[in-house]
Amino acid sequence: MRKNEGRTVGLFTKVSPEEKEVIDQKMALLGTFNLRGYLRKMAVDGYIVQLNMECVKELVRLLRSISSNVNQITRRCNETRNLYAQDVEDLRQGYDRVWHEVYDLIQKFEGL
């Protein structure tokens, strides 16, 4: 141990082979290979959260799609002075999908 780390108290424990495998799997998921650092972080903070950002990526994709639709509808409204019921329905469905994704994301955060 390096003297300038300030860590002078040793903690020791044993785990089963199955527990060690779980620890290795979790470390691999996080992309870390420093066992001491990982265990210290878990012990001090109590948890490490890994987020699957696929639902956030889907949400961003939906928002971009809606933004593009709004721009196209606005351009057409400015040119023709008409707003079509189908345009409004398309936007409503897009916003419904966005709110569904937001709700799912909130549910996932609550499960942490």
pLDDT above 90 coverage of the chain, percent: 42
Q: Do residues 62 and 97 lie in contact, with contact meaning Cβ atoms separated by under 8 Å?
A: yes
Mean pLDDT across 4-26: 88
Q: Quote the pLDDT of residue 3.
A: 57
Q: Which amino acid does the sequence have at 101?
A: E
Could you report the per-residue pLDDT of 57-103, keeping only the tens digit for each?
888 999 999 999 999 999 999 999 989 999 999 999 999 999 998 99
Q: Structure tokens of 88?
A: 């409004």
Mean per-residue pLDDT, 40-63: 82
Predicted confidence at residue 29, as pLDDT, reads 87
Whole-prediction pTM value?
A: 0.52
Task: Give residue 4's pLDDT band: very low, low, confident or very high (50, 70, 90).
Answer: low
pLDDT at 106 (0 to 100)? 87
Residue 35 tokens, joined: 């066992």
Confidence of residue 48 (pLDDT cuts 50, 70, 90): low
- DSSP annotation of 8 reads -
